[in-house]
A and B are shown apart, each in its own frame.
Chain A
Amino acid sequence: MKYLKLSILVVLFLVGFSVADASVLYTQSVSSVVGRSFASSTPDNPWIAQSLGNGFSQVINGFNFKLKATQDLSDTQLTATIDRYNEDSYTTGGTNLVTQHFDVSDMNSQDVRTIEWSFGSVTLDPAKYYIFTLVTKGGTVYIDDYVTVLGSSVVSSWPDGACRNPPNSSPTTDACGSVEDIYFQIIGYSSTDTHIESFTPDNVTVNEAVPLDLTVTAFDVDMEVDYYFNSSEDFGVYDQVCVQAYPVEVSNMTFIPYCDTIVASGGSTYSFTYPSLPYGINDVIVYFYNSTTGIKSLVQSFTFVNGYTFTLMTPHPDALTGTGIFGQFYGTTTGYATSSSGQLIEDCSVLSSNVFERVGCAIVNGFKAVLSFLFVPNPVQVQGLVNNLRIGILTKFPIGYATRTYDIFASSTATTTLPLMSVNFATSSPLGAINYTIDMNEIMDDASVVLNDDWTSGNGIIAVANDYSIWEIFMGLIDFTIWMFLFYMIFTNVVGFYQLERGHRQGIS
């Protein structure tokens, strides 16, 4: 038996090492939002195109993008196409692969809609160059969110990735308006190189422009900051926009900020590389900065204006194996932002052909990473285990009844009204045949109004800066009492005091 346990442990250890040795970017969640207006120089035929570059192989079966209308689109039709060309100039060999018309005429101003464009399997040729084109007729469409390539693809090198004039278009200049790039995503690699296994856009709404906190993990991280302001925006005392990294796992360590002068009218783009970020998670903060006084805008609340965009690219495709993802966050008048997080396990295998820096493969860091990988469950794995536990065990008879009861208490929603209670007096009573109906909603509504009224100091004896309702005054104490009682109940249950005390009361020793 002892040898059996030892054998199992050795096998698991070896399996773990072999897996850890492989290069896997095993978790990745990125929010991807682009907020740039899509206004054409030809209002009757506005269009925009995204060069996807070459290197795509295998099959794609869908393309997602999100739109935001900046005005009522009562007469707007949208046509999306993916075309194939022979070279990166997109001039010869043009072949249309898929075309789809989308009716967006029912979109009103500020409406946001995700277009999930699914089509039959399209086999791509890695030697060809592909381009995604949107054409609208009537109205102005605002490219608001990410563009996603669904399916398995391999990119040999990062394509230009820029918005461009559609092939053979007229006019030939600046048809993209303020759009510089429609970012897209490539998932589902089967390669053993460093790659992205999953990619989950997750938008986050914030009320302030800064700081926008982004978690990345990589070694060399290339970033790009794009920002766009209306000329009427007031920047206050700030004249620069900065990006700065803070390694989470190394305390008291910061990297120098990269700053650039704010361009008030229109926008600007600047790119830079954070070299050799420590292995682990790094927080990246974007903020405004006054280069004269040194004041940062970390606590400054900004009112975003339409077209304000930050883009952070990590990891940059060139820093890896020609593949890339984009985490982007941006702000609009309502202050939207997204964040992204990722965790990179660098390819430390001997056979690796990756060309990026291998600083994370040093013996100490590498061994530490491998041990962590072996013994510390990944949050995604833990979540999967919990789901399996729930599906495979907790929902089964008879435990399922307890689980279902818990679910009802935990997930049921409040009703819109409280029940009416009726009292019918018997015909033999003095109040015979009288029916009283008690409306709890009215009673509760009145109580709620009274209890939620702000209480003021009145005679000035109580000096308070603000007025508070009865709940705001007492809820802290009530919550504390309830949670302390719960803690007592749990504690006594766990250590057995409750049963011991109950046993004594019942004469059981």
Chain B
Amino acid sequence: MITSAIISLVFLAISLVLSPLPTVTELPWGLDDAMLTAVGYFRTFADFFPPFYTLLQAFIAYLFLKITFIVLSFFLGSRIPKV
């Protein structure tokens, strides 16, 4: 209750600050379609060679870590390890 309330307040405050910014629904300059197609090809390729699927999963996990660092850096500045 208290924990979620505090977290909700923090999220609410951040969301209010960011609310004027536009919401990103796709990547610009045709990158969205290109990446969707490319990753689709990669997944098809990985169907034939399963190690590449594991590689993709690992990359996605690493990408998630990077995004987490980006978000933390955005709000906390230099208080986190540099990436």
Contacts and interface: CB of A to CB of B under 8 A. Distances in A.
Interface of A: 12-13, 15-16, 19-20, 373-378, 381-382, 385, 388-389, 391-406, 408-410, 412-419, 440, 444-445, 447-448, 451, 471, 475, 478-479, 482-483, 485-486, 489-490, 493-496, 499
Given A385-B11, A412-B40, 4 more contacts: A392-B12, A397-B22, A482-B51, A482-B55
Name the residue in A376, A408, A495 with the highest tally of chain B Cβ atoms < 10 Å from its Cβ. Answer: A408
A274 B23 CA distance: 52
Interface string B45-69: 1111111001110111111111101
Q: Do most interface residues of chain A lie in helix, strand or loop, or is the interface mixed?
A: helix
Given A385-B7, A404-B27, A415-B40, A373 B61 contact: no
B11 to A, nearest CB: 5
Contacts of A374: 1-3
B54 A482 contact: yes
A418 B41 contact: yes
Contacts of B4: 377-378, 381-382, 385
Contacts of B70: 399, 402
A414 B1 CA distance: 42
B44 A403 contact: no
B67 A406 contact: yes
A12 B43 CA distance: 48
A385 B40 contact: no
Q: Do most interface residues of chain B lie in helix, strand or loop, or is the interface mixed?
A: helix
**Which 3 interchain pairs have the tightest Cβ spacing?**
A400-B24, A392-B15, A414-B43
Contacts of B45: 418, 440, 444
Contacts of A404: 24-27, 32
A362 B71 CA distance: 45
Given A406-B67, A444-B45, A19 B24 contact: no
Interface in B13-50: 14-15, 18-19, 21-27, 32, 35-37, 39-41, 43-50
A478 B46 CA distance: 14
B76 interface: no
A466 B31 CA distance: 47
A490 B62 contact: yes
A399 B63 CA distance: 13
Contacts of B36: 408, 412
Given A414-B40, A482-B54, A493 B65 contact: yes
Contact of B83 (A395, A400, A493): A493
Name the residue in B4, B11, B43, B69 with the highest tally of chain A Cβ atoms < 10 Å from its Cβ. Answer: B4
Interface residues of B, number: 57
B41 A392 contact: no
A389 B70 CA distance: 14
Nearest to B80: A494
B27 A401 contact: yes
Interface of B: 1-8, 11-12, 14-15, 18-19, 21-27, 32, 35-37, 39-41, 43-51, 54-56, 58-67, 69-71, 74, 81-83
A71 to B, nearest CB: 38
A121 B69 CA distance: 51
B11 A393 contact: yes
Given A415-B43, A475-B51, A12 B23 contact: no
15 contacts: A19-B1, A375-B1, A377-B4, A397-B24, A400-B25, A403-B67, A404-B26, A404-B27, A408-B32, A409-B35, A409-B56, A413-B40, A414-B43, A416-B44, A483-B54
Contacts of A489: 62
Nearest to B69: A493
Contact of B48 (A395, A402, A408, A448): A448
Contacts of A377: 1, 3-4, 7
B14 A393 contact: yes
Contact of A409 (B37, B39, B51): B39
A396 B21 contact: yes
Contacts of B48: 444-445, 447-448, 451
B79 to A, nearest CB: 13
B44 A414 contact: yes
B47 A490 contact: no
Contact of B41 (A419, A475, A494, A495): A419
A374 B69 CA distance: 29
Contacts of B60: 406, 409-410
A16 B1 contact: yes
A413 B43 contact: yes
Given A399-B71, A419-B41, A482-B58, A405 B11 contact: no
B14 A414 contact: no
Contact of A392 (B14, B37, B66): B14
Contact of A12 (B5, B11, B19, B64): B5
A509 to B, nearest CB: 15
A123 to B, nearest CB: 36
Contacts of A414: 40, 43-44, 46-47
Contacts of A493: 65, 69, 81, 83
B73 to A, nearest CB: 10
A242 B67 CA distance: 50
A204 to B, nearest CB: 25
Nearest to B46: A414
A490 B70 CA distance: 14
